[in-house]
Amino acid sequence: MKKLLSLVIVLFVSATFFGQTDTTKVAFVSYWSLGDSYDFKVTKINQQWREGQLTKDQKEEYIANFTVIDSTENSYTISWSYENDLGSTYQIPEELLEKFSKYKITEIKYKTSEVGDLVEILNWKEVGETMNALFDDIVEVLGEKDVEKKEALKAAMLPFKQIYSSQQGVEQLVLKELQYFHFPLGVEFDITERLV
Q: Which tens digits make up the pLDDT trace of 10-51? A: 444 444 444 455 567 776 778 899 999 999 888 888 889 999
How many domains, the chain? 1
Q: Is 33 within a domain?
A: yes
Domain span at 107: 24-190
- Kindly tell me if the per-residue pLDDT of 122 is higher than 60: yes
| Long-range CB pairs of 1-5, under 8 A, 24+ apart, other chains included | none
Q: Is 8 within a domain?
A: no
What's the pTM?
0.72
The share of the chain scoring above pLDDT 90, in percent, equals 32
Round to whole Å and give the CA distance between 149 and 124. Answer: 30
Round to whole Å and give the CA distance between 24 and 6. Answer: 34
Mapping DSSP to helix (H, G, I), strand (E, B) and coil, where does residue 184 land? coil
Q: Is 69 within a domain?
A: yes
* Beta carbons of 119 and 75 less than 8 angstroms apart: yes
- Kindly tell me if the per-residue pLDDT of 114 is higher than 70: yes
**Which pLDDT value is given to residue 196?**
65
Q: Is 63 within a domain?
A: yes
- pLDDT band at residue 5, thresholds of 50, 70 and 90? very low
Q: Is 18 within a domain?
A: no
**Which pLDDT value is given to residue 62?**
84
Cβ contacts of 100 within 8 Å, gap of 6 or more: 86, 92, 134, 137, 138, 141
